[in-house]
């Protein structure tokens, strides 16, 4: 590129031609100037001379413009009239003109015209455009401008949420269990004794989630459990896989194997679960795989007294306390009780913290069990131990210096079929360089399977989803039809409250011909365990339950799940229907829907990624054969559950012989007939049982008319 421009002499002819051209251009400019001046003079003559008060100030260009704006209406006219005149003018002149009148605003603060204000000022000042047209004709519509200090409400562009890389790009796990089986021999890292135990339990292949998670966990503990691989702290793991896909074994096998070589007994693995039943189930699996090892498992769920549980956890010795458990399976409340009240109880050697049903456990974070566990795990009381490896300090920020001194890591493992992908919620868990294993289809990658439907959660492939639109009074008949006529031998029926469960149970019992039971917080832990056992053994055909059995409960051979009350949340639906079609088996789910619920429920399931939902209209002829017996059951129930007063005024049912009011559970019952349906009136107690779903839509009347109550009492 040339730095200097050298003007070359063009020669005598070219110079003469250039001079002539210059003269012609000068003439043209002069003529244009004269024309403009004469036009300005004409305009001045047409307009009245400004008054003394309105005389333009020489100093201020802004003040000079003001009277000209008034010229749109009469200067004497009142403000309202002037405004009308302005609007008329604007209407006549179109949008460009209308804006031109308001244009000086942007330049007011700046003290001079902004680039955008240029044409507007020209229009108002009466100056002509360079091409000779009057300014009014060349005024352009005002372009949007940034007004400094404009604090009016303005539509802001939506911030697009984005996920951190570990959530957006998870390690994919196959959803279809039957297609993704991995033979046990293909993962040789698993200890031969554990392989033997797996075979003894009838496990010949790993399910996809197990084949992905077990090697990853074993690798993080490859150098022993005392120190992470290469001295680094291992990544925390999050696992999201459908219900019944074998997530329990995915953490049981690697945890047991990592602890196999421990010498001193300390609590090294802690599994936290939301319910007692789930904790019992998981501890049972741990017991199976630790049976032939020195490892000991403690179940801490409040089933026994605190003192009894303390005895199973620590033992007092001459020089302090001795720990009696390597693996502890607990519910959060009882866990915190032991942290607070059990002398000698220590989590300082904790290596694995497993949070099963993690999304539910995050919801219960208000109990602040996690900060208590972390504080107990990093607690450093007393003098520094000589072996730094066994001491643990919580570093605020990871630095080169902090990684220099290796210490026993605490690895968090999260499992759920409906693991939240909300980074804010997951942040509460304080995860360290987390890694996600997911069958989820919310963020479809190129390797997503063809059958996958975009949605929030993945469902077992063997599960078929159905729904039946019906009226409230037809619901009990539909359940009876599904159990008796369609020949399902093990049916799990969910209601939204324990009251609803109890009502339905009484009715089915009165109907007869079905071996039914009820499962809710109405029963104690011992009774609940017996009921579940009988259901598993096939002694109970229909189990009517609240959401107490919706999560995690693994009962073999459940063929049908009935949502007697439609679940309010998608997560509830996922877990309820997940009690069937487990471990690659087939299963059916029926939801009974009232008309008012249909649209919202279907929308919820579509967004949730339910693959295909079959609609069934049950014609009344199908239910007709059941109606006479059903009517009889209602009458019989009315006779059986008559009420009488107990000593303290509570109502006693003849069926139970005890007062359900003051004597049993602060609840009184009365049975009345209402049309063709049974209304079991409950009063005296709260809602109980988490009756949050669809209240007001399918909930039965909570207060009987006084007249009716008097009649019944009589
Ligand atoms: N590799 C396997 N081979 C055969 N059966 C298995 C295997 N792994 C697990 N199972 C069985 O599959 C069933 C479901 O397993 P599990 O309870 O671990 O599922 P889950 O993913 O935790 O389900 P949920 O999300 O409902 O809690 C159990 O009965 C278990 O014994």
Residue 259: pLDDT over 90: yes
CA–CA gap between residue 682 and residue 671 (Å, rounded): 9
Is 417's C-beta closer than 6 angstroms to any atom of ligand 1? yes
Question: Does the Cβ of 207 fall within 6 Å of ligand 1?
Answer: yes
Are 365 and 507 contained in the same domain? no
76 located within any domain: no
In SS3 terms, 287-341 reads as: HHHHCCCCCCEEEECCCCCHHHHHHHHEEEECCEEEECCCEEEECHHHHHHHHHH
Please provide the DSSP assignment of 131-146 as one string.
TS--HHHHPPPPPP--
CB-side neighbour CA atoms (13 Å) of 360 = 22
Q: Is the pLDDT of residue 335 over 90?
A: yes
For 657, the 3-state DSSP assignment is coil
Same-domain pairing of 523 and 411? no
Given a cut of 60, is residue 78 above it in pLDDT? no
CB of residue 578 inside a 6 A radius of ligand 1:
yes
pLDDT top residue among 17 and 593: 593
Q: What is the pLDDT of residues 222-255, one digit of tens each?
A: 777 777 676 678 899 999 999 999 999 999 999 9
| Cα–Cα distance for residue pair 180/555, rounded to 1 Å | 23
In a domain, 133, yes or no: no
Query: Which of the two residues, 9 and 100, has the higher pLDDT score?
Result: 9
Helix pair angle (525-536, 276-290), 10° resolution: 60
Which run of H or E residues covers position 533? helix 525-536
Both 413 and 528 in one domain: the answer is no
Distance CA 698, CA 566 (A): 9
> Given a cut of 60, is residue 334 above it in pLDDT?
yes
How high does pLDDT run on average in the chain? 75
Centroid of chain to Cα 34:
77
Percent of the chain with pLDDT over 90: 40
In this prediction, residues 648-662 reach a mean pLDDT of 49
Question: Is residue 699 over pLDDT 50?
Answer: no
Question: Which atom of ligand 1 has the smallest separation from the CA of 250?
Answer: 18
Give a yes or no: residue 365 inside a domain.
Answer: yes
Cα–Cα distance measured from residue 113 to residue 283, given in angstroms and rounded to the nearest whole number? 79
Tens digit of each residue's pLDDT (9 = 90 or more) over 6-46: 445 555 565 566 667 777 888 888 898 889 888 888 888 87
Within this chain, do residues 544 and 591 fall inside the same structural domain, yes or no? yes
Decide if pLDDT at 128 tops 90.
no
* The predicted structure's pLDDT at residue 505: 92
What mean pLDDT comes out for the span 377-401? 62
Distance 486 CA to ligand 1 centre (A): 27
Compute φ and ψ for 321, nearest 5 degrees.
Answer: -125, 150
User: Which 3 state secondary structure label does DSSP give 424?
Assistant: helix
588, pLDDT greater than 60: yes
Boundary of a domain, candidates 609, 626, 643: 626
343 inside domain? yes
pLDDT at 120 over 70: no
Q: How confident is the model at residue 402 (pLDDT cuts 50, 70, 90)?
A: low
Which protein residue has the closest C-alpha to ligand 1 atom 14? 244
The number of CA neighbours under 13 Å toward the Cβ of 445 is 12
* pLDDT confidence of residue 157: 75
Rounded CA Rg of the chain: 40
The answer to whether the CB of 242 is under 6 A from ligand 1 is no
Distances (CA, A) of 675 to 275, 619, 672: 39, 20, 10
Q: HSE on the CB side for 66, CA within 13 Å?
A: 10
Residue 672 in any domain: the answer is: no
Identity of the highest mean pLDDT range in 92-96, 166-170, 182-186:
182-186
- 418 and 528 in a single domain? The answer is no
Report d(CA 671, CA 657) in Å as an integer: 15
The average pLDDT across 500-525 equals 90
pLDDT for the residue 444: 44
Measured CA to CA, the distance from residue 604 to residue 587 in angstroms comes to 21
* 31/685 Cα distance (integer angstroms): 100
Domain termination site, one of 577, 598, 626? 626
661 pLDDT higher than 70: no
Q: Do residues 422 and 556 share a domain? A: no
| Residue 512 near residue 572, CB atoms below 8 Å | no
Atom of ligand 1 nearest to the CA of 554: 17
Query: 3-state class of 659 per DSSP?
Result: strand
Closest CA to 365 of 398, 338, 336, 385: 336
Residue 433 has pLDDT above 80, yes or no: yes
Inform me whether the pLDDT recorded for 582 exceeds 50. Answer: yes
pLDDT of residue 362 exceeding 80: yes
Can you tell me the mean pLDDT for 191-219? 95
Q: Give the residue with greater pLDDT, 333 vs 229.
A: 333
Taking the CA atoms of 519, 520, 521 and 522 in sequence, report the sign of the dihedral they define.
Answer: negative
Q: Does residue 428 sit in the same domain as residue 476? A: no
Q: Average pLDDT in the 502-531 region?
A: 90
Could you report the per-residue pLDDT of 599-644, keeping only the tens digit for each?
A: 999 999 988 888 888 899 888 888 889 999 998 888 887 776 655 4
Predicted pLDDT at 105: 35
Out of 74-78, 327-331, 437-441, pick the least confident: 74-78
Instruction: Report d(CA 478, CA 462) in Å as an integer.
Output: 23
476-511: pLDDT as tens digits: 999 999 998 888 889 999 999 888 898 899 999 999
Strands 411-416 and 237-240: what pairing? Answer: parallel
Rounded average pLDDT over 98-120 = 36
**Ligand 1 within 6 A of CB of 637:** no
Say if CB 249 and CB 525 are below 8 A apart.
Answer: no
d(CA 413, CA 236): 6
> Is residue 675's pLDDT more than 50?
no
Task: Determine the distance separating the centroid of ligand 1 and the alpha carbon of 585, expressed in angstroms.
Answer: 11
Q: Give yes or no: residues 414 and 501 share one domain.
A: no
Provide the edge-to-edge strand list for the sheet that holds 411-416: 171-172, 435-438, 237-240, 411-416, 352-356, 269-272, 327-330, 297-300
Pocket test for ligand 1, best of 271, 277, 561, 583 (most atoms within 8 A of CB): 583
**Is 651 part of any domain?**
no
Provide mean pLDDT across the span 35-59.
65
List beta partners, residue 329. 271, 299
CA distances from 162 to 362, 423, 449, 482 (A): 21, 10, 23, 45
Q: Is residue 645 part of a domain?
A: no
Q: Domain span at residue 498?
A: 463-626
- CATH code assigned at 503: 3.40.50.300
For residues 342 and 414, membership in a common domain is answered with yes
End-to-end CA distance of the chain: 111
Q: How many CB atoms lie within 10 A of CB 663?
A: 15
Say if residue 353's pLDDT is above 70: yes
With H, G, I as helix, E, B as strand and everything else as coil, classify residue 700: coil
Measured by CA distance, the residue closest to atom 7 of ligand 1 is 246
Report the sign of the C-alpha dihedral through residues 572, 575, 580, 585, in that order: positive
Which residue's CA is the closest to the ligand 1 atom numbered 3? 203
pLDDT in the model for residue 194: 96
- Ligand 1 centroid, distance to 576 Cα (angstroms): 16
pLDDT given at position 570: 93
- pLDDT higher than threshold 70 for residue 388: no
Ligand 1 neighbourhood includes 246 CB (under 6 angstroms): yes
For the chain, how many structural domains are there in total? 2
Euclidean distance between CA atoms 360 and 416, whole angstroms? 9
Asked if 225 and 258 touch (Cβ cutoff 8 Å), the reply is yes
Question: Who wins on pLDDT, 314 or 171?
Answer: 314
On whether the CB atoms of residues 338 and 267 are closer than 8 A, the answer is no
- For residues 433 and 476, state if they share a domain: no
DSSP state of 481: I
Within a domain: residue 57?
Answer: no
Where is average pLDDT lowest: 21-30, 92-101, 230-239, 382-391? 92-101
pLDDT the model gives residue 693: 29
Give the count of beta carbons closer than 10 Å to the beta carbon of residue 379: 14
282 vs 609: which has the higher pLDDT = 282
For residues 525 and 303, the answer to whether their CB atoms sit within 8 Å is: yes
**Measured CA distances, 468 to 589, 590, 593 (Å):** 11, 7, 6
Cα separation, 688 vs 667, in Å, equals 11
- Write down which residue in 626, 642, 673 finishes a domain: 626
- E strand map for 93-190: 171-172, 182-183
Side-chain half-sphere CA neighbours of 518 within 13 A: 19
Q: Which residue has the tokens 């009882």?
A: 334
Q: Which of 173, 180, 214, 244 to mutate to test the pocket of ligand 1 (most atoms within 8 A of CB)?
A: 244
**182 in contact with ligand 1, CB cutoff 6 A:** no
Reported confidence tier of residue 56, pLDDT bands at 50, 70, 90: very low
Mean predicted confidence (pLDDT) in 530-536:
93
The least confident of 103-117, 401-415, 421-435 is 103-117
Q: Does residue 475 line the site of ligand 1, with CB under 6 A?
A: no
| 492 alpha carbon – ligand 1 mean position (Å) | 18
Q: Are 532 and 428 in the same domain?
A: no
Most confident of 14-23, 99-108, 358-367, 413-422: 413-422
- Name the pLDDT band for 392 (thresholds 50, 70, 90): confident
Q: Sign of the C-alpha dihedral, residues 241, 244, 245, 251?
A: positive
Looking at the structure, do residues 476 and 430 belong to the same domain, yes or no? no
Mean pLDDT lowest for which of 145-159, 428-442, 542-556, 566-580? 145-159
């Amino acid at each position: 590129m040339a730095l200097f421009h050298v003007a070359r002499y063009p020669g005598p002819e070219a110079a003469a031609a250039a001079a002539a051209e210059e003269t012609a251009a000068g003439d043209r400019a002069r003529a244009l100037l004269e024309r403009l001046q004469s036009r300005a003079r004409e305009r001045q003559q047409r307009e009245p001379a400004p008054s003394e008060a309105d005389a333009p100030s020489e100093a201020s260009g802004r003040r000079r413009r003001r009277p000209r704006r008034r010229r749109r209406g009469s200067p004497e006219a009142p403000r309202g009239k002037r405004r009308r005149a302005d609007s008329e003018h604007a209407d006549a002149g179109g949008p460009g003109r209308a804006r031109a009148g308001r244009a000086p605003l942007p330049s007011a603060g700046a003290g001079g015209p902004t680039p955008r204000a240029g044409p507007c000022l020209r229009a108002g000042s009466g100056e002509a455009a360079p091409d000779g047209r009057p300014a009014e004709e060349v005024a352009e519509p005002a372009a949007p401008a940034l007004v400094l200090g404009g604090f009016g409400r303005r539509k802001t562009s939506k911030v697009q949420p984005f996920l951190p890389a570990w959530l957006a790009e998870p390690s994919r796990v196959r959803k279809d269990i039957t297609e993704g089986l991995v033979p046990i021999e293909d993962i040789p890292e698993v200890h031969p004794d554990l392989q033997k135990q797996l075979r003894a339990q009838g496990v010949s292949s790993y399910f996809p989630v197990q084949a992905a998670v077990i090697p990853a966990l074993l690798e993080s503990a490859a150098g022993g459990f005392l120190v992470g691989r290469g001295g680094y702290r291992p990544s925390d793991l999050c696992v999201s896989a459908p219900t019944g896909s074998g997530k329990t074994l995915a953490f049981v096998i690697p945890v047991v194997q990592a602890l196999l070589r421990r010498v001193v007994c300390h609590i090294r693995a802690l599994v936290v679960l939301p319910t007692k039943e789930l904790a019992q189930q998981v501890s049972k699996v741990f017991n199976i795989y630790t049976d032939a090892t020195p490892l000991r498992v403690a179940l801490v769920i409040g089933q026994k007294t605190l003192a009894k549980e303390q005895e199973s956890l620590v033992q007092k010795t001459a020089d302090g306390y001795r720990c009696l458990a390597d693996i502890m399976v607990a519910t959060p409340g009882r866990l915190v009780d032991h942290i607070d009240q059990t002398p000698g109880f220590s989590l300082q050697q904790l290596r694995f913290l497993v949070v099963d049903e993690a999304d539910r456990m995050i919801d219960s974070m208000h109990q602040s069990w996690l900060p208590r566990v972390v504080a107990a795990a990093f607690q450093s009381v007393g003098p520094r131990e000589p072996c730094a490896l066994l001491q643990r300090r919580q570093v605020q920020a990871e630095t080169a210096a902090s990684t220099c001194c290796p210490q026993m890591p605490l690895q968090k493992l999260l499992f759920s079929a409906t693991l939240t992908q909300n980074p804010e919620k997951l942040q509460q868990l304080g995860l360290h360089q987390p890694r996600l294993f997911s069958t989820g289809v919310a963020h479809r990658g190129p390797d997503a399977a063809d059958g996958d439907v975009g949605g929030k959660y993945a469902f077992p492939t063997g599960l078929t989803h159905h729904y039946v639109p019906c009226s409230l009074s037809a619901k009990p008949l539909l359940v009876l039809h599904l159990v008796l006529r369609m020949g399902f031998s093990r049916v799990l029926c969910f209601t939204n409250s324990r009251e609803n469960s109890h009502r339905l149970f009484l009715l089915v019992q009165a109907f007869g011909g079905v071996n039914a039971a009820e499962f809710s917080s109405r029963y104690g832990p011992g009774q609940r365990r017996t009921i579940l056992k009988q259901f598993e053994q096939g002694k109970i055909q229909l189990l009517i339950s609240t959401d107490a059995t919706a999560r995690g409960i693994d009962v073999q051979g459940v063929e049908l799940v009935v949502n007697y009350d439609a679940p309010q949340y998608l997560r509830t639906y996922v877990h309820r229907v997940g009690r069937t079609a487990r471990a690659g088996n087939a299963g059916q789910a029926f939801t009974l829907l009232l008309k008012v619920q249909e649209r919202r429920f279907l929308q919820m399931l579509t967004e949730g990624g339910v693959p295909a939902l079959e609609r069934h209209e049950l014609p009344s002829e199908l239910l007709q054969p059941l109606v006479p017996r059903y009517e009889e059951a209602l009458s019989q129930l009315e006779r059986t559950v008559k009420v009488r007063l107990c000593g303290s005024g509570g109502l006693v049912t003849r069926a139970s012989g005890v007062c359900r009011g003051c004597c049993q559970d602060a609840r009184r019952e009365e049975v009345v007939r209402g049309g063709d349906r049974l209304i079991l009136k409950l009063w005296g107690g709260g809602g109980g049982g988490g009756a949050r779903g669809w209240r007001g839509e399918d909930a039965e009347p909570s207060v009987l008319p006084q007249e009716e109550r008097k009649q019944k009492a009589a």
